[in-house]
Amino acid sequence: MIVGGMMLLTLLKKEIQDYLISIRFVVLLALCILLIPLSLYVNFETYKRWSADYNEQVKSETIKGSRGRGGLSGLRPPSALSVFANGVETSLAKDFSIQSPRIIFGTGRSYGDPIYETFGRIDFLFVVQAVLSLIAFLFAFDAISGEKELGTLKLAMANPVPRYKILLAKFAGGMIVLIAPFVVSFAIGSTILVFAGYPLFQGIILAKVALILLLATIYIGLFFVLGLFVSTLTHQSKTALIMLMFVWVVLVLGVPRLSMMAAKVLRPVDDDSVVALRIKLLTESIDKEKGNALKQLYFDKAREKKLSPGLLTFDSADPEFVRKRNEIAGPFEARMREELARINADQQRKRQAQLNLARNIARISPASLLSYLMTDIADTGEHIKVRFLDAVRLHYSALDRLIFSKSYQDTISDGNTGWGFGGNLPGQETPKDPPRFSFSFPRTAESLGQSVVDEGLLLACAVALFAAASVAFIRYDVR
Amino acid sequence: MIEAKNLSKRYEDEVLALDALNLQVSPGEIYCLLGANGAGKTTTINLFLNFIEPSAGQAFLNSIDVVRNPLEAKKYVAYVSENVMLYGNFTARQNLDFFAKLAGKKDLKKEEYYRVMREVGLPEKAFEQRVKEYSKGMRQKLGIAIAMIKDAPALLLDEPTAGLDPKAAAEFLETLIDLRKRGKAILMSTHDIFRAKEVADRVGIMKEGRKVMERTREELQYENLERLYLDYMRGGIGPEAEGPKTAL
């Protein structure tokens, strides 16, 4: 009698042969070869354009010296890994400007084509998440139930074959046939990228790409095991297929979208434009109060200096005037800072709570987990959004400490006429070369660390499903 | 040797599919189990193959208890089902090769596969033909070839001639006779009374899970098996002593 290893090899060889000569394999091969290199190439072309735009803007701002004006604007560089997962790249602001005390964010990047804007774009993440998960199901749905229908399972098990070996061979055989065209297509796509000028070997990009490939493999494996599990629960491949199609729609199309919708209902957060309007009204209101409080001081100074009617001045040469002005304006300016900080923190807290809830709901689906993980590694995920916004706020705080707190901006009104005064407060030194906005992408370990829960869940899901499929198959009625 | 001792099977829905079956098939013997649908024939075979577990009693293959040591017991049995459906995209030889390896046969040469396929009456041109192009008769022949290549001392056949044309059925029985000559213990369930009478060394009639009658080849020379069968089907379900005995 043959030893166990030989038997496993026989079963494995048969599984691979059976898949290789099936139409399913042809479909998989065609889709992988077509979609993966094409999506990588097209997304790289877009990234090149984004990158060129970014570099052009950096150069232009440096020449114009707008950074010399106090770093009042900043740019967000595109992520080179957006080629693999677009993520928030098109929705997150590509730049910002500061009109103290407000930060005004620009628009996101565009694909540059109305068709893409309307129908969305295929990236590597989509190919894995939607297309390959579906194909994994199509590979697995009849693995057990189909052999039962055919009668070959009975015939095989009339021999001294342990059940676990049959399942193991089905898993390993299916995975080899599924993953091989995927990896080959990925290698072809990556080679095309390198020849087209993609910086694959620059910095940590290669490590991150390897991580993306590993995640994709785990995800495809998870769907294949889920397919095997459902196949072991059914006695007709038709039933297994219908069940799996339902599961696919729920996991891939339903949960990821519904999670955000549910979070919006359960944890409503004001739109950013509403918050911006609130800030605008608040600053205007405090400015007005401050102006009213300062009005008498300015009018007294105009009388003292015998200015013509209708003229007011900020007398920087008079230390007493400056002291009184600061004494009056100080509490208003402090209140303004406090209120703005409170509104921003409140909005940030609510937004984060909503995102956390959405993320927790979405964890039901491996498709959502993959999105979170892959976009995090590709530096196009929610973490990047938070990182960018934090960097902008940090930059604002630095400017506030170094510049805005050392300047004044007063608006005086007597009901009919308005006067505006602004500039550096006398005796307050501001840096000639204020800090420039800088933004860096996280390192691989950092990206992974941020999503460690999701990574653990994805792996645990795959292992648990394989265990469930094994238990179900041990109890499977082969008759 | 195929042996059942008080073998019983009660399903979860409380249906008693097999009731205390005692049976012994010796090497070089063909035992035919006759009975209507639901009589317990296939349940008996499934119990021997450990596809289901008995509620009571024991089943032995080559004196090995199939419940206690199923993998060891399966080394000594080959099986042919009612409707052999193999891997359609594989050729006959590839199918034969796969099942031979599962049965523990390794390093078999192509000629050995061809020899077995010839023995069961498959035409030469079909050896490397995809099985999805086979007729039912050809598939059954390939099924028996798979059983033969295992060279197990016991054979379990579950209505193997069902749906076969008379010529194919006759050829199939010739193969069975040949296997008997080689000392195989063969247990075959069938509806085909005439073929059973032709090849069986012993015949058992089953009804509602019980073996109600058993006759040897010699005894059947003096009795009409068809009449016996019909009488038992119409009559009570009691075992031998209770059943009618109809002389010719």
- The string of pLDDT tens digits covering residues A132-153 is 999 999 999 999 999 999 889 9
Task: Return the minimum-mean-pLDDT range out of A68-72, A460-464, B23-27, B103-107.
Answer: A68-72
List B211's β-bridge partners, or say none: B206
φ/ψ of A197, rounded to 5, equals 105, 10
Query: pLDDT at residue B244 above 70?
Result: no
Asked if B81 lies within 8 A of A155 by C-beta distance, the reply is: yes
Distance CA B26, CA B185 (A): 5
Distance CA A12, CA A6 (A): 10
The per-residue pLDDT of chain B, averaged, comes to 87
Distance CA B156, CA A17 (A): 29
State both tokens at A177: 């046939």
Distance CA B108, CA A431 (A): 88
Asked if A152 lies within 8 A of B86 by C-beta distance, the reply is: yes
Pick from A91, A90, A97, A89: which is nearest to A61 by CA?
A97
Query: pLDDT at residue B248 above 50?
Result: no
Say what the pLDDT of residue A71 is.
63
Interface test with A, best of B74, B86, B98 (most A CBs within 10 A): B98
Q: What's the whole-number mean pLDDT along residues B111-134?
A: 91
| pLDDT tier at B94, thresholds 50, 70, 90 | very high
| pLDDT tier at A351, thresholds 50, 70, 90 | confident
pLDDT digits (tens, 9 = 90+) for B30-66: 999 998 888 899 999 999 999 999 999 999 999 999 9
Instruction: Answer whether A21 touches B (CB < 8 Å).
Output: yes
Asked if A159 lies within 8 A of B146 by C-beta distance, the reply is: no
Give A237 to chain B, closest Cα distance, Å. 15
Which contacts of A269-272 are long-range, i.e. CB under 8 A and separated by 24 or more positions? A269/A347, A269/A350, A269/A351, A269/A354, A270/A347, A270/A350, A272/A105, A272/A347
Give the residue ranges of DSSP H helices in A249-365: 255-266, 272-304, 319-362
pLDDT digits (tens, 9 = 90+) for A94-129: 888 888 777 888 888 877 777 766 777 789 999 999
For residue A479, which amino acid is it? R
Stated as kind and residue range, the H or E segment containing B110 is: helix B110-119
pLDDT digits (tens, 9 = 90+) for A49-91: 999 999 998 887 765 544 444 468 888 999 999 999 998 888 8
State both tokens at A119: 């129908």
Q: Are B90 and B98 in contact (CB under 8 A)?
A: yes
Top-ranked range on mean pLDDT: pick from A26-40, A62-76, A375-389, A426-440: A26-40
Nearest CB partner across the interface for B74, out of A6, A18, A159: A159
CB atoms < 10 A from the CB of B86, how many? 23
Burial class, B188, CB count within 10 angstroms (exposed 0-12 / middle 13-18 / buried 19+):
buried
Full-model pTM: 0.84
Cα A73 from chain centre: 23
Instruction: Answer whether A156 touches B (CB < 8 Å).
Output: yes
Give A223 to chain B, closest Cα distance, Å. 25
Q: Write the Ramachandran bin of A240: left for phi over 0, alpha for psi from -120 to 50, otherwise beta.
A: alpha
Asked if A159 lies within 8 A of B99 by C-beta distance, the reply is: yes
Distance CA A440, CA A394 (A): 13
What is the length of chain A?
479
Say what the pLDDT of residue A3 is.
56
Instruction: Answer whether A157 touches B (CB < 8 Å).
Output: yes
Pick from A270, A250, A455: which is nearest to A353 by CA?
A270
Give the position of tokens 């006067």: A419
Q: Which residue of A has its CA nearest to B71?
A: A160
Query: pLDDT at residue B245 above 50?
Result: no
What is the length of chain B?
248
Say what the pLDDT of residue A450 is.
65
| pLDDT tier at A447, thresholds 50, 70, 90 | low
Asked if A6 lies within 8 A of B51 by C-beta distance, the reply is: no
Distance CA A44, CA A442 (A): 21
Query: pLDDT at residue B127 above 50?
Result: yes
Query: pLDDT at residue A309 above 80?
Result: no
Cα B122 from chain centre: 20
Quick one: angle between helices A366-377 and A205-233, nearest 10?
Answer: 170
ipTM rounded to 2 decimals: 0.88
Contacts of B75 in chain A (CB under 8 A): 1, 160
Instruction: Answer whether A17 touches B (CB < 8 Å).
Output: yes
Distance CA B106, CA A1 (A): 8
Say what the pLDDT of residue B195 is.
84
Asked if B94 lies within 8 A of A17 by C-beta distance, the reply is: yes
Return residues 91-110 of B near A (CB < 8 Å): 94, 98-99, 101-104, 106
Instruction: Answer whether B206 touches A (CB < 8 Å).
Output: no
CA triplet A183, A186, A191: central angle to 5 degrees? 125
Q: What's the whole-number mean pLDDT along residues A341-351?
A: 88
Q: Which residue of A has its CA nearest to B42?
A: A479
Q: Are A454 and A372 in contact (CB under 8 A)?
A: yes
Q: What's the whole-number mean pLDDT along residues A312-320?
A: 86
Distance CA B224, CA B202 (A): 14
Distance CA A478, CA A53 (A): 63
